[in-house]
Structure 1
Amino acid sequence: MRLTKYKVFVCACVLVCVYYFFGVGDYLYSKSFDNEFDYPLNVDLKPIVRDVLSGRKPRIAPINYYPYRFLSNSGKCNTIEKLDLFIIVKSAMHQFGHRSAIRQTYGQENLIPGRIIKTLFFLGIDNNPKSDIQKRIDQEMAQYKDIIQIDFHDNYYNNTIKTMMSFRWLYEHCSTADFYLFTDDDMYISLNNLLDYVHDQTVKNNWERDSATSTVGEDKDNHLFAGYVFKSAPQRFKTSKWRVSLEEYPWNKWPPYVTAGAYVVSNKSMKVLYVGSLFVKHFRFDDIYLGIVAKKVGIVPKHCDQFHFYKKKYSKADYADVIASHGYDDHDELIRVWTEQNKVV
């Protein structure tokens, strides 16, 4: 009897540990995303966004304006020329080598004849404004004039702040580009393939808009929010760095979202996503946050197989149609691969 009671006690302890460690209760008690999704603000944002973009006062006050300042600026948009593409690189302060490699590869602004392309790096700050890293960044900004630094503490859980502050800068200072590419600083990027892709999508959107079979009243405003799209559920494991509690997000699925490594948005989508974000509660994972905003403003993320979430094994032939591939921490490798793919035959 004592042995049996002991076994029952041990089994109960194991079950309790499993229950809490794997967040079983969170999975069991999560709400249905399909039937009950109502992430704040729980209102129809589409007419509110239209009011703001039309210069009218919104009927509801914004709830999510980040109280940070741009510590530097850039004259990248001080031109009467219409931009084909603006590249926004989310970079960490210490990644000097990453930024240098990008300036030697896809960040070159006179790379493609007949195309006007600009590139900026967006950084946060550390706790010491007089640190050696900050002094080097000050020198880098003076030399290249391609860094926008923002006065928020730069860490993983503040990526949403970096992303939405970059959206704000674009909205306020550079709202005329046809398309915007957002990318991490460890990505391989092919601008030729990207421009071919957005051209094809524009032609397709225009055809659908003008087609007699288009649904009356359907929004055909050339929205594009594309990259590697995930459809997944929150992690509830207690020890996971991606754990999300029911208090933070009570639903059993995420909305479809484009992974943050690299994605492209059209001019219209950039503006709608930014304005929409002012009325959507902050969430600490930037790709999921943009997925939430996209759902609430009626933009459907588009999956593109040419964006690779994982690092695609390199061969010259296999990279012929790649737009983006993750995992290029080796600067020499990025330069070597990019150079081979961009040799003029």
Structure 2
Amino acid sequence: MRRKYFYHYVAIACVVLYIYYFFGVSDYIYSKKFEKEFNYPLNRNIQPLVREVMLGRKPAVAPINIYPYRFLTNSRKCYTLEKLDLFIVVKTARSNFEKRNGIRQTYGQENSIPGRIIRVLFFIGSDDLNSPVQERLDREMAEFKDIIQMDFHDSYFNNTIKTMMSFRWLYEHCSNADYYLFTDDDMYISVKNLLDYVNDDAFTRLNVAGDRGDKDSVILDNDTEKIILAGYVFNSSPQRFRSSKWHVTLDEYPYDRWPPYVTAGAYVVSNRCMRIMYVGSLFVKHFRFDDIYLGIVAKKVGLEPKHCPKFYFYKKKYSVDSYRDVIASHGYDDPEELIRVWNEQNAL
């Protein structure tokens, strides 16, 4: 009888230990409080460093996060002195040829809004440069001249590299747009609704946490310039389940909540925000989830993302009327559906 109870207790203990380990209970227990203890390398106020770089000076501390990758292609879309209203950055994968063509026929048309100067480029990583996919991609790049390819492995966990390399290209080659839309290639986008949103007179600028007369504030030079980081904002916690694709250890991120962040599917930044975020990223350690990383950078430089309910991180059910004020909706994997919806909305 004792042996029976012994095995019974052992079985229960094993189940408890398994649940404790599988669900990351200890990680939840030992997480630090975000509101009281948040810090992230560089473990210092980086706003003075960002300010120095943006003023063309050498910062007191060297950058810690410069990605060692190259642009394999370039574009002359921003080589003129004209001021752009909007630059659209589309994050895409090498093999998504049909999606790119669908975008070129819809919101990627640069002359779709009369009186507005809009430019669109696709940003993409690389893999085997001698593969049939790359050969087809080379032909596409020669035909359309709208793809920036970079020499890092294109994978899900390298999305932060793709995003920040895109920021670098904009900072170095295209800093003359009023606004920048970053979007995945499976989104429905209304450029008209987006421009109406960012140009709304009531929308002056993003709340800036450091804007209290601090001499080190990154915005003091241009108090009248809009600083916008907007999209669908999440306030959530790290996933500690060890089987999850989004599992994060305490060593990677020890806090119980993420900073507020915009979902990476689609978001818009103003010109100055783009420059602040890029320079800030030079002083913020890499993190493998791009939307979380941008949230961390925003927190470090003192920017608070603005939630816009017209950005949908999920696929909003379509009807002609319900999409009239939509800026972005996720889930358009079928280019034919994107073309149909976009044509219907733009025929109104």
**TM-score of the aligned structures, taking structure 1 as reference length:** 0.95
CA RMSD after TM alignment = 1.7
- SS of 1:181's partner is strand
Matched to 1:89, the amino acid is V
Q: For the residues of structure 1 that align with 2:234 and 2:34, how far apart are their CA atoms?
A: 15
Q: For the residues of structure 2 that align with 1:15 and 1:90, how far apart are their CA atoms?
A: 43
Listed one character per residue, the Cα deviations across residues 227-255 of structure 1 (whole Å, up to 9, x for unaligned) are 00000000011111100001111111100
1:266 counterpart residue number: 270
1:112 counterpart residue number: 113
Q: For the residues of structure 1 that align with 2:202 and 2:173, how far apart are their CA atoms?
A: 28
Matched to 2:340, the amino acid is R
How far residue 216 of structure 1 moved from its aligned partner, in angstroms, is 5.7
Give ranges in structure 2 of 5+ residues lacking alignment.
none
Listed one character per residue, the Cα deviations across residues 59-118 of structure 1 (whole Å, up to 9, x for unaligned) are 100000000000000011011210000000000000000000000000000111100000
Matched to 2:203, the amino acid is K
1:231 counterpart residue number: 235
Q: Is the 8 A contact 2:86 2:117 kept in 1?
A: yes
1:242 counterpart residue number: 246
1:48 counterpart residue number: 49
Say if 1:207 and 1:10 are closer, same or farther in 2 by CA, change over 3 A: closer
Q: For the residues of structure 1 that align with 2:206 and 2:94, how far apart are their CA atoms?
A: 44
Say if 1:284 and 1:208 are closer, same or farther in 2 by CA, change over 3 A: closer
Matched to 1:268, the amino acid is R
- SS of 1:148's partner is strand
2:183 counterpart residue number: 183
Give ranges in structure 1 of 5+ residues lacking alignment.
none
Q: For the residues of structure 2 that align with 1:331 and 1:155, how far apart are their CA atoms?
A: 22
Listed one character per residue, the Cα deviations across residues 265-295 of structure 1 (whole Å, up to 9, x for unaligned) are 0001000000000000000000000000000
**TM-score of the aligned structures, taking structure 2 as reference length:** 0.94
Q: For the residues of structure 1 that align with 2:206 and 2:96, how far apart are their CA atoms?
A: 43
How far residue 205 of structure 1 moved from its aligned partner, in angstroms, is 1.4
Whether 1:168 and 2:168 are equivalent positions in the alignment is yes
Q: For the residues of structure 1 that align with 2:120 and 2:149, how far apart are their CA atoms?
A: 14
Whether 1:142 and 2:142 are equivalent positions in the alignment is yes
Matched to 1:19, the amino acid is Y
Matched to 1:264, the amino acid is V
Q: Is the 8 A contact 2:86 2:178 kept in 1?
A: yes
Whether 1:130 and 2:165 are equivalent positions in the alignment is no
User: Alignment partner for residue 292 of structure 2, among 283, 288, 292?
Assistant: 288
1:30 counterpart residue number: 31
- SS of 1:178's partner is strand
Q: Is the 8 A contact 2:125 2:151 kept in 1?
A: yes
Percent of residue pairs identical: 66
- Number of equivalences: 338
Listed one character per residue, the Cα deviations across residues 291-337 of structure 1 (whole Å, up to 9, x for unaligned) are 00000000100000000010000000000100000000011100000
Whether 1:205 and 2:204 are equivalent positions in the alignment is yes
Listed one character per residue, the Cα deviations across residues 119-145 of structure 1 (whole Å, up to 9, x for unaligned) are 00000001x211111011111111000
Q: For the residues of structure 1 that align with 2:46 and 2:256, how far apart are their CA atoms?
A: 23
